[in-house]
Structure 1
Amino acid sequence: MCASLVFAAVMGASVYVLIGQPVMAPGWLRDRIETRAGEALGAASLRFDALDLVVEDSTKPRVRMTNVQVLNDAGVEIVGFSEMRIGLSLADLVQGAFRPTEIGITGVFAKLRREIDGSVILSGGLDLGAPSQQADTFAKLIEGIDDLVSIPGLSALTQADVQALTLEVEDVRSARAWTVDGGRMRLTREGDMLRVTSDLALLSGGQGVATLEASYESSVGASAATFGVLVNDVDAGDIAVLAPAFEWLDVVRAPISGAVRGVFGVDGTLAPINVALNIGEGVIQPTDATRPVPFRSARSYFSYDPEGTVLLFDELSVDSAWITAQIDGQAVLGIDARGGLDDLVGQFRASSLRANPDDLYPEPIEMEAAQMDFRLRLDPFRLDIGEALFQDEGQDLIARGALLADPGGWSYEVDAQMAGMAPERLLELWPDRYAPKARKWVLDNLLEGQMRDLALALRDTPDSEVVAYTSFAYEDAKVRYLKTLPPVEKARGSASLLDGRFVVSVDQGHVTAPQGGRIDVSGSSFIIPDVRAREGVPAVVRLATDGTVTAGLSLLDLPPLNVMERAGLSPSIADGRIAAEGTLAFAMKKGLTPKDVQYDASGTARDVLSTALIEGRRVAADRLQVVASQSGVAVSGPGTLDGVPFDVTWAQPLGQGPQPSTVRGSIELSERTIDAFDLGLPAGLVTGRGSGDIEIALPAGEGVPSFVLSTNLRGVRLSSPPLGWSKPAATPASLSLSGALGEAPRVDRLVLDAPGLQAEGSITATPGVGLERASFSSVRVGNWMNGPVELVGQGRGAPPAVVVRGGTLDLREADFGGSGSGTGGQQGGGPLSLTLDRLQITDTIALDGMSGQFNMSGGLDGTFTARVNGGTPIRGQVLPQGGRSAIRITSSDAGGVAASARILKQARGGTLDLTLLPVGAAGFDGTLSVKETRIQDAPAIAALLNALSVVGLIEQMGGSGIHFQDVSASFRLTPSTMTLTQASATGPSMGLSMDGVYDVAGGQLNMQGVISPLFLINGIGSIFTRRGEGLIGFNYTLRGPAADPRVQVNPLSALTPGLFREIFRTPPPDLPQVEGETPAPVVPEAFAPADPGPSDAERRRQERQQRIDER
C-alpha cells in the first residue's frame, strides 16, 4: 500500500514536471506497459521500438510508441503500426493502473480476404497471408470489436483512431482486389454505445479515386446494430461484389455514388436495408465481347429484405439516349449454395418510357406505361422477359424474349404482339434502317385503315444476321400495290416480314377500275422477296381478281402495262365477268415502262359478249379461259359467233405499237352458220351439224378480219335438189374457205371436193341483203356437169339466180329437179341462165352452143337454143318431170336436125317437133313429128328400093329426093339403145313404116317394116293397115351396120292385103326396162303441139274435093 502511494506520488510529481515535454520513458515503464498490454491482449503480446511519454496538460498524459507490433503467442506478428498513441487517465496512472482512454494508430497495413463461401479473414503484420482474425461473415468480424473493447484493460477506452490505413481487399468469389490507401477509422464509446466510422480512398486500378464512408453503431455486448455506407464514384463492379443484393450491378460499367442504411436485429440477423444509388455516365456491358449500351445517368432507391431475399425498388430511373424511364417494382434473389446470386426474378413497372436504342429513330419513341416480368442471370448473362406489357395510345403491346451475352457478343430474341395500331404509329415505331424497303412500301402504299394483331419476332446472334419476323393484320384500309394502278379499297388482310421476305396479303378488298366498275381482288398479295437487296429491289404482285371484263381490261391498260393500247384495242371490247389469278414482277424504281414489268396471268371469263372483237359480229361465251403475259394475251374456249358454236383461241401478241391478233380453233358448220354469216345460200343446201378448223386474222386498228376455214364435212349433209346431188352427213368431204368477215362478209376462195361434186370459187354478200354473188370458176357435178357457175343473190329469202357461162352438161346422168339422189331434199330454186359449150342428151346426140333461161323453183323449167351436134340450130323447152327433165325440141329444118343427129344424114328440110320424156334414172320416151321433108341418098332406103326394083323411086331419091309429107315416130332411148316402137313416113311417092332396135353403142340396126309404093293411090287402104302402110306393101328388114345394113324384102307380102300382112313380120319390139322406171310419163301440156294446119297435100286434096262438090 505504501509502495503504491509512493509510486503514485512519484508519478504525479513526474507528470507535473513533464507537462508539455516529451520524455523517453524509462525502462521500467516500458516493461510495465508491455506487461499490462499483454495482460490486456490475452494470448497476444505487444512489442515496440521506442516509447515516449507526453503530458499535454495536467490531466491527459499520452504514450507514443513507434514500430509497434502485436504478436501472437508464437511470436508471429498479427498487426503492426508505424506509430501508436495511447491516451491515459492521470488518475488511473497515479494509482498505478494502465487503462488507455484513447488510442491513435498510424501506418496500419492489413489485408481483408473474402472466401468463396463468404467467410472473411483479416490479416496484418509482416505476413499478410497469415490470418489474424477470421469470421463467417463481415458482420461477425465487426462484432469482434465488442470483444476487443470488452477487455478490462480497455474498459476506459472512449475513442480509437486509425490513420494512414493501407488495406488490401481481395474477393475470391469475384476474383477482384482493391487497395485502400490513406484510410481513416474512428471508434467512439459513450457509455455502452459503440460507434465506428471510417472513410477510405479505394484504388481498384481505374483512373479515378473512389471514396467510401462507413458507420457502425451498437451497444457493447449487444447484437443489435445500425450501419451505413456512403460511396462516391465507386465502380459499379466494386459495389456488385458487396452482397447478392448488389450483384445485378455487375453488368454496369459506371461510377456510382450512394448510401446504404441497415440494421442488425437483437438476434444478430440483418433487417431490410435501404439503398440509394446515383449512377454516373457509363454503359451496360456484361462482357468485353458485348457491345456497350450507353447511358447518361441512372438512379435507384431500393430496399433489400435478406430474409425474403427480395429487392423492392421504389425507383429505378435511367436517362439514356437508348432509353429513359422511371421504374418501380420488386425482384426476388435466387441465392446459390455459395451465397452468391444465382438469378433475379422480378416485376417492374414504368410510368413513362422514352426509347431510341442505337439512334434508331429521329426522335425518341414515347410510351405511356410499361410493366414486365423478368429473370436475370449474370454468369453467363441472360435476361429473360417472361412478359412485358407496354401501353401505347390506348393499346397494349405484349412482348417476351431474352437477351444473352454470348462469347462473341450480344444475342437476343424478342416476340411481341399488339391488338391494334394506326398505320401512322406503326411507321413511328418502325425504324428507318430496319427493312427500309418494306417500311417505305408501307409508308407509300398503306394509305388508310387500322392495323390489328401485330406480331414481331427478332432473333440475333453474333455469328449470324438478324432473323426478323413481323406481321400485322389491317382492315378498312386503302392499299396501293403499284403507284400507277388504283388502290385496293375497303381492304382487309395481313402483312408479314420474315427473313427479308415482305408479303402483304389482301383477304378482302376491291379496286375501282377506270371503266367497268369494281374488281374484287380478295386473295391478292404484294411481295418483296428480299428487302435487303439494293437498288432496283424486285417486287411481285400476285393478283386474284373477280370483276367485269371491261374493268379488268381497263386495269391492264393503265401504265406501265398499257396492254390494250399496245394491242390497239379498247377496254370495252367485251362484256362479261372474269376471275383471274396472275403475277406482276417489277423493280421498285421510278419511271417503270412496259418492258420493266413481267406479268403472267390466267383466269376464267364468264358470260362473255363482244360486238367489237370482230366488227359487225356477236361473239358470246358462257366460259372462256384467259392467259396473259408480257408477250401477249390468249383467250380460249367454247362460245358462239353470231349464234354459231365455236371452240377457239384468240391470241393477241403484244409489242411495240398495235399488233394483229388471230383466232384459231373449230367452229360449227350447219345451216345456222350460213344464216349467221348472211351468205344467202339456198335453203336446204346445208343441214346437219359438223365442224371446221378456222383461223381468223384480226388486223391492228382499222381493217376487216380475214379467215381461213377447212373441214372434212363429217356430220354435214349437203343437198342441191336442182342439181340432183347430195352428200350424206356421214360421208367425208373436203371444204376449204378463205375470205373476210365484217359487215359484208366474203369468201375469196372456196374449194369443195365431195363425192359427186367439186367446186372452186368465191362468195360476196351485201349487208342486210345476203348473198350478192357466188362465182365458181369450176363446178363439176358427178359425170354430167363441168363448168363455171355463178349464183346471184335475189334478195333476202329468195333463191339465188344461177348463171352458167360455159362448160358441159350430160342429161344422160343429170337429175334435174329431183331430190338429190332420192334423199328427199327440198324443192325450189331461182332463175337459171344457162350458156353451155355442150349439152349431151344421148350417146350420139348433143347440143352445142346451148343458151337458155330457166326457172328452177320446181326443177329445171325454161327454153333454150342450141345446135344439134354443132350443126342445125334448134329451139328447146325443158320442164321438170319425175325428178328429171322433160325436153321438147323444135326446128324449121327437120332434115338438118336428123342429119346433125346422125339419124338420117340425107334428110332435107321440113319442120321438127321432138319430145323426150324422162323414164327411170337414165332413159327417155320420145315422140317425133316431121312435116314436109325430103330424103336423098339414104343407103338403107336406097337398098330397100333397089331390092324392090322400083326404078323411079331410086332415080327420084338420087335426084331431088323422095318427099314425105308426114313423118312420126315413137321410141325409147336408153344410154345404149334406141327402141323404135312405131315409125311412119308418108308422101305421094311412097309410104314407109318401121319398128325395131338400134344399138347406139355398136351402131347396129335390127329394123322391120313395110314399104308402100305410089302411096298417093296405094294409101287408100291405109285404113286397114298400120300408119304409113298402103293396101299393097312389101315387108322388109334392115339388119347390120347402120352405114351398110343388110336389106331383105318379102315380095309375096305384096300379094297379101294390108289387113293380113302381119303374118309376114314379127311383133314390134318390147320397150326395155329402165332402172327406176315408173308408169308411162305423161306429155306435159306445155309440150302439146300447136295445130299446124293441113299439109300441102291435104290442102290440095281439100281444094280438089271442094271443086268436085261445087260441080
Structure 2
Amino acid sequence: MPTVIFLSLAMLFAALALSGKPLRLPVWAVVEAEARINDVVGEIAGPGTALSLGGAVFVVDEDWVPRLRLEDVRILQPDGTSLLSVPEMRVALDPSAVAQGQLRLRSLRVIGANMGLRRLADGRFDLALTRGIQPRPVEGLSGLIGSAVTLFEQPALSHLRLIEAQALTLTVQDDLLGRVWQLGDGRMQLSNREDALAMELGVSVTGGQTAAASAVMTLIAAKEDASARMTVTVDRVAAADIAAQAAPLAWLGVLDAPISGQIASTLDRLGALSGLEASLTIDQGALRPTPQTAPVAFDGASLFFSFDPARERLDVSEWTVRSADVTLSASGHAYLPGVTAGRPSEVLAQIQVNSLQLDPQGVLEEPVTFEQGALDFRVRLAPFGIDIGQITLLHQGQRLQASGQVEPEAGGWSVAVNADLDQIAHDRLLALWPAGVVGKTRIWVADNVHEGLLTNVRAGFRLRPGQEPLFSLGYDYSGADVRFLKTLPPIQNGRGYAVVAGKSYKMVLEAGQVAAPSGGLVDIAGSVFSVVDVTEKPARAEIGVKAKGDMSAALSLLDEPPFQFMTKAKLPTDLGQGQVEASADLRLPLKKGNKIADVDFDVTGVITGFRSDRLVPGRELRADRLALRVTPEKLEISGKGALQSVPFDVTYAKQFAPEFKGKSTITGTAELSAKAASNMGVSLPDGLLAGRGVANITVDLQQGQAPKLVLRSSLAGVQMAIPSLGWSKGSASTGRLALDLTLGKPARVDSVVLEAAGLKATGSISLAADGGLELARFTSVTLGGWLNARAELRGRGKGRPPAVAVTGGRVDMRGLPGARGGAGSSSGPISLALDQLTVTDGLALTGFRSTITPGRGGVSGDFTGRVNGQTPIKGSLAPSANGTAVRLRSEDAGSVFSAAKVFPNAQGGSMDLILRPTGAKGTYDGNLTMQGIRIRKAPALAELINAISVVGLLEQMNGSGLLFNEVEAQFRLSPRAVQIGRASAVGASLGVSASGLYVLQGGRLDVQGVISPIYLLNGIGAFLTRKGEGLFGFNYTVKGTAKEPSVSVNPLSLFTPGMFREIFRSAPPQLDPNE
C-alpha cells in the first residue's frame, strides 16, 4: 500500500512538474500542511506559536522544485495575537526532504508584508512583523544580525538560502529624532551564505521632505563576528533623512535639498561604525537649518568624503557648490567632536579652496574669481551658527583674508564679516564691493576714483534681519586719479586713505596734484571728501579741499563750472602773480546736473608774493601776503600791500548777486603822502603835503569804466602848507580830507574837501594826460576868517607852477597872515576877481580885479576896485622885503576919502598911497601923498579952526571947503588902528601937521600937531619947522571920536617960533598892544 501511495504521489508530482499547473490543496490537505508546518514553527518560535493558513496552492517548477503558495498567512502568538500577517507567502521546498516526508525550506518569498521598525530613545531597535503587535527590542544592528544567524541555524531553516520580500511596506519610527518614515514599494533579499548574511533592501521613501525618493541598502554581515559592510545608494532622498541615519552625517541636516549618491560604511562586531565613505550629489535646494530659517538657495553641490571614527575626522576629497551667487571647488577635512559618543554638536572644518567664483545677482557688477584659498570655520549644529575663523583667498598674487560669524535669526540671517586685503587694484575692489551696500557712495567712488593701487584694505559687514546693512571699509590708496567734482580736473597720482563707517564715507588725500586749466599744477594734499549719511536721498557730500600752487592755476580752478568766480567777477584768471595756499569747504548733493545754487561753499586762503597790474588797471599792486575768501555771496581778497608803491591795508570784494554784475570794490586804508599822490598819478604843488598819514579808501570797480576812488582821512601825521595863503598844518593836528577820484588815464578828482587848521576848501580837480594838473576848481575856500573865495588852479605844463584864478568871494586883509619873503617865488600867475577886499574896519574894496605875478619877495601886478563899493580906485602890487607892497592911486582923492568915511565931505584931488607889509599880520607901513583936495565940514578941523578964532576960515570950510594943495603922511596901518607918525596938509589958508592914533573900531582919535593959519605967508618959515607948520602956529590935541571930537589949543604956542615949538610938544600917542 505505501508503495502504491508513493507511486501515486510520484506520478502526481511528475504530472504537476510536466504540466506546470498549480494545484490548490483541499481543506484537509491545508490542515495537514498547517499541522506539519506548525511542528517546525514550534521548534523555531517556541511552544504555543502556531501558523494559520487561509489557503495553499502547490506547484512544481520546471526545475522539479516543489513550491507552496500560502495565502493569508498568519503566525499566532500563544495569546492568539498575530506575530506576522502576510497576504501571500511563497515557499520553495527541498525536493529530497519532501521525498522523505520532511519540510525543509530552500527559499522564502513574502509578498505584501506590512512591518514596523522602531528605534527607541536608548538606541535599541524594536521589530514588529505586523503592525499593531508588541515589538521585540533588539540591541542594535548586531542584535539584528545575531537574531538572523540564530534563525538560520534552526534545522527547518538550515537549508534556507534566500528570503525575499516584495511589495513590502515598512514604517520606521525614530524616537531619538522624533521622526517617522513610511517606506513603501519595498523589496528585500536576504541571502544566507555559508559565512555571511547578505541583505539588499530597496524602498521608496514617502515620509521624508522630498517626493519620488528611493534608497537601496546592501548589507553583508559576517556570521563569525557580526562585522558588516553596508552600502546605501540614495536617489533624491532628503538631506535631513540621510542626516538622521548616522551621526557622522548629522551635519547634512542643515540642508533642505534632495541628495543622490552612495554611502559605504563598515561596522564592527558590536555594530559600531568603523569607517565610512560617501559620494553625494546634492540637487537644487537651500541651506536651511530650521523650517523658520530663511533659505539660502543653491543650484547643486557634490561631496566626496571619508570618515574616520577613531579620529572623528571627515576627509573631503572633493566639494563643489553651484549657485547663482557662488561657484566653489574645494577639498579639506573636518572634525566632528563627540560624534562617536552620539550626535555631534559642531563641525570644525579646514578647507582648501581650489577655485571660487562670486557672482551674487544684483550685488556685484561682474563675477569675482579666486584661484585658490583656505577656509577655517566651525559649524554649530544646535543651535545653528557658522563661526569663520579665517578665510584666505588668492587672486593674481593678491591676498584676501576674512573672518566672521553667520547665524539664523527670526526673519532672516545675522551676518558679521571682517575682511583684510594686502593690496588690490581699484577696479578689483569695486568688483568686490556689493552694489547694494552704501550704493550711492560706491557709485561715486566708481565714477570719480580711477586707477590706483589700494593697500591695507579693511572691510566689515553687518546684517541683521529687519535692519539696514552696516558696511565699513578702510583702505590706503596710491597712484589714483580722483575727481571730487565732475566739472573739475581730476587729481593725479593721488595718495591717501578712505573709510566707510556706518552711514558715512570719508576719503583723505595725503598727496596729489591737479593740472589746472592754466598756470600749471596745484598741490591739493590734505583734501577730504566725506558723506555724512549715505542713506539720504540724495546723499550730501562735504568736500574739504586744500590747495597750494600758482595763483593763476588756483584761480583757473575756481573759474571752472559750477563756480566760475572769475568769470562772474569779470576778472581774468591770470589776474596777477603769486602763490596760493587755500582751503575750500564744499557741500553739495550727490546727483547729476548740480548747479551753483546746489553747492554751498566757503573758500579761505592766503596769497603770498602777490603782484598785479590788472586788479586796478594801470596800477601795479604788490603784497607779501593777502587773505582770500570766497562764499556763494562774494569773493574777497584782503591784506597789506602797496599800490604803485603806496602802502595799503585793503579788502577787494566782489558780490555775486545779479545787481552787482560787473561791479567790485576795494576798501581799506592806504598811506597818505606826497609820494602816494604822485604814484597814483596826482601831482601836488611842492610843499603842499609832507609826512605820512593814513587814509580810508574805497575803490569802486565797474566793468568798462575807470575805477572810482573814495578817500577819507583825518590827516593825522601829515604836514600841509600853502605858503601863498600863509597857511600850514602840523603833523600832530588833525583835520578832514575827502577825495573822490576817478582813476582813469588821466586820473580825475571829482570832489575834494579839505578841512584843517582853519582852512576849508571844496572843489574838484582834473588832471592832464601826463598826470599833471589840468584844472582845479574850488567852489569854496575859507581860511582864518579872512578868506572866503572861489578859486581855480590851471596847470601850465610839467615843471611850471599852475595859474591861479580867484573867481569870487571875499578877502579880509585884517586877518591876512604875515607874509614871508620869497614865499611866492614858485607860484604861477594869479588872477583875482573878488567880490570884496576888506582892508580895515569900514574900508573895503569891492569888485576887486587883479592880475598878479608872484616873484621873489611877493607878487607884482595891477588891480582895480571900488572903495566901499563907491569910488573906483586902482593900484599895483610889488614885491618887498616882507611881502607884497600895495600902491593905491586915484584922481578923485576926495571921493576915496569920502567913501572910506575918513573925510565924508572931501572933494577932488589926487592920491598916491603906498602900503608896505611890516611882517606882522595885517600890518603895513604907509606913505600917502595928495594934491588939490578940498575938505568940507570936517568936525575935528572945524573945532580946531574955531579954537584959534581965524575969521573966515570956518565959513570957508563950511562953504566951498578948505583947499589943501599938498597932503603928505607917514603911518602904520594895523588891523586895529592907524598909527600916524608924521602927517601934514598945507593950503593957502591953512597948514596943519599931525601925529597920533586913529582907532578904527569906533573912530576914536588921539592926535596932536600944529595948525598954522595964513599958511601962504606963515609957511615962509616952514624950513625951520616941520612940514605943514608955519613960523607961527598953534599946538593942538584932538581926542574923542571923529564925529564928536574934543579939541584943545595952546594959545601961548603962537608966540613960540617954530624952531622952539618942540618944547611945548608932547610925545605922540602910541597904539596900546592890547588893542
Distance 1:955 1:826 in 2: 53
Alpha-carbon separation, structure 1, partners of 2:465 and 2:144? 46
Alignment of 1:228-627 (within 5 A): 228-265=231-268, 269-288=272-291, 290=293, 292-335=295-338, 339-358=342-361, 360=363, 364-430=367-433, 437-497=440-500, 503-526=506-529, 541-584=543-586, 594-595=596-597, 597-627=599-629
Pair 117,576 (structure 1): closer, same or farther in 2 beyond 3 Å: farther
Structure-2 residue corresponding to 1:1069:
1069
The equivalent residue for 1:121 is: 126
**Count of residue pairs brought into register by the alignment:** 1059
Contact 1:923 1:1074 in 2 (8 A): no
What SS class does the counterpart of residue 555 from structure 2 fall into? helix
Structure 2: distance between partners of 1:556 and 1:222: 94
Q: Which residue of 1 aligns with 2:868?
A: 869
In 2, the alpha carbon distance for the partners of 1:425 and 1:933 equals 125
* SS of equivalent residue, structure 2 residue 215: strand
* Alpha carbons 2:569, 2:654 under 8 Å: kept: no
1:380 to partner: Cα distance: 4.2
2:41 to 18, 24, 37: 37
Q: 1:633 aligns with which of 628, 632, 635?
A: 635
Distance 1:291 1:716, change over 3 A: same
Q: 1:659 to 1:322 in 2, by over 3 A?
A: same
AA aligned opposite 2:119: R
Cα displacement (A) at 1:490: 1.6
Q: 1:289-347: CA deviations, max 9, x gaps?
A: 55544444322110112232221110011233332222101112244898223222212
Residue 974 of structure 1 aligns to which amino acid in structure 2?
A: S
Specify which of 115, 120, 125 is matched with residue 110 of structure 1. 115
Alignment of 1:1053-1068 (within 5 A): 1053-1068=1053-1068
Q: Pick from 737, 740, 748 the counterpart of residue 739 of structure 2.
A: 737
Encode CA deviations 1:681-734: one digit per residue, 9 max, x unaligned.
23443445554444332213x111224344444555544333233445565544
CA shift in 2, pair 1:181/1:745, >3 Å: same
Report if aligned partners of 2:37, 2:51 keep a CA contact under 8 Å in 1.
no
1:162 to 165, 178, 184: 165
Cα offsets for 1:538-559 (capped at 9, x unmatched): 6654433233332232223233
Deviation at 1:937, TM superposition (A): 2.9
1:928 aligns to 2:931 (yes or no): no
Q: What is the rounded CA distance, in whole Å, between the counterparts of 2:88 and 2:656 in structure 1?
A: 109
Partner of 1:481, secondary structure, is: coil
* Matching residue of 1:811: 813
Q: 2:833 aligns to what?
A: 835
1:953-988: CA deviation from partner (whole Å, max 9, x where unpaired): 667767887666654433333333323232234566
Using structure 2 for the length normalisation, give the TM-score: 0.88
Rounded to whole Å, the distance in 1 between the matches of 2:446 and 2:880 is 89
After superposition, the Cα gap between the structure-2 partners of 1:633 and 1:141, relative to the gap in structure 1 and judged at 3 Å, is farther
- The equivalent residue for 2:19 is none
CA contact (8 A) 2:403 2:418 kept: yes
Return the offset for 1:897. Answer: 4.6
Q: Which residue of 1 aligns with 2:969?
A: 969
User: After superposition, what is the alpha-carbon deviation per residue over 1:255-306, rounded to whole angstroms, capped at 9, x for unaligned?
Assistant: 3221112223467542221111122334444445555444443221101122
2: CA distance, partners of 1:994 / 1:509: 103
Q: Give, in whole Å, the separation in 2 of the partners of 1:214 and 1:347.
A: 31
Residue in 2 aligned with 1:782?
784
The answer as to 2:852 corresponding to 1:850 is no
Alignment check: 8 A CA contact 2:145 2:226 kept: no
Give secondary structure in 2 for the equivalent of 1:577: strand
Name the structure 2 match of 1:915: 915
**Worse overlay, 970-979 or 69-78:** 69-78
Match of 2:902 in 1: 903
Q: Could you tell me how far apart the structure 1 residues matched to 2:315 and 2:789 are? A: 119
Q: Tell me the amino acid that sits aligned with residue 221 of structure 1.
A: E
1:769-795 CA-partner distances (Å, limit 9, x unpaired): 333222111111121000101223344
Q: Given that residues 492 and 508 in structure 1 are in contact (C-alpha distance below 8 angstroms), is that contact kept between their aligned partners in structure 2?
A: yes
1:644 and 2:647 matched: yes
Instruction: Give the Å deviation of 1:439.
Output: 4.5
Mapped partners of 1:339, 1:857: distance in 2:
133
Measured after TM superposition, the shift of residue 762 of structure 1 is 0.8
Identify the residue that residue 1007 of structure 2 maps to in structure 1: 1007
**8 Å Cα contact 1:848/1:866 also seen in 2:** no
Alignment-derived partner of residue 937 in structure 1: 936
Local SS of the residue matching 2:658: coil
Partner of 1:134: 138
Contact 2:875 2:888 (C-alpha < 8 Å) held by counterparts: yes
Q: Could you tell me how far 1:488 is from its partner in structure 2?
A: 1.3
Identical amino acids, percent of aligned pairs: 36
Instruction: Tell whether the 8 Å contact from 1:210 to 1:233 is kept in structure 2 after alignment.
Output: yes
Q: Using the alignment, how far apart are the partners of 2:422 and 2:131 within structure 1? A: 70
Structure 1 gap ranges (5+): 1-5, 1076-1111
CA contact (8 A) 1:603 1:625 kept: yes
- Counterpart of 2:162 in structure 1: which amino acid? Q
**Deviations, residues 650-670 of structure 1 (Å, cap 9, x unaligned):** 133243994322334444444
Q: Quote the offset at 1:375 in angstroms.
A: 1.9
The SS at the match of 1:341 is coil
Alpha carbons of structure 1 residues 756 and 277: separation in structure 2 relative to 1, 3 Å: same
Instruction: Kindly provide the CA deviation profile for residues 728-782 of structure 1, in whole angstroms up to 9, marking residues without a partner as x.
Output: 5565544433342233222222334445222221111234333322211111112
Say if 1:497 and 1:503, in contact at 8 Å, map to a contact too: yes
Check the 8 A contact 1:911/1:933 in 2, yes or no: no
In structure 2, how many angstroms separate the alpha carbons of the residues matched to 1:989 and 1:465? 134
Shift of residue 839, structure 1, vs aligned partner: 1.9
CA contact (8 A) 1:722 1:860 kept: no
2:20 is aligned to none
Structure 1's 101 and 627: CA in aligned 2 closer, same or farther, altered over 3 A?
Answer: same
What is the TM-score with the length of structure 1 in the denominator?
Answer: 0.86
Partner amino acid for 1:189?
Answer: N
Residue aligned with 2:306, SS: strand
1:697 and 1:936 map into 2 onto residues whose CA distance is: 69
Q: Per the alignment, do residues 518 and 364 of structure 1 end up closer, same or farther by CA in structure 2, a change over 3 Å counting?
A: closer
SS in 2 for 1:515: coil
CA contact (8 A) 1:664 1:693 kept: yes
The SS at the match of 1:572 is coil
- Looking at structure 2, the residues matched to 63 and 919 of structure 1 have their Cα atoms a distance apart, in angstroms, of 173
Equivalent pair of 1:403/1:412 in contact (CA under 8 Å): yes
Contact 2:34 2:51 in 1 (8 A): no
Q: Residues 806 and 50 (structure 1 numbering): CA distance in 2 closer, same or farther, change over 3 Å?
A: closer
Q: Which AA in structure 2 matches 1:566?
A: K
How far, CA to CA, are the matches of 1:1061 and 1:869 in structure 2? Answer: 40
* Residue deviations 1:183-239 (CA, integer Å, cap 9, x gap): 233333333333222222222366743222222223313143222212222222221
* Residue identity matched to 1:928: N
Shift of 1:927: 3.4
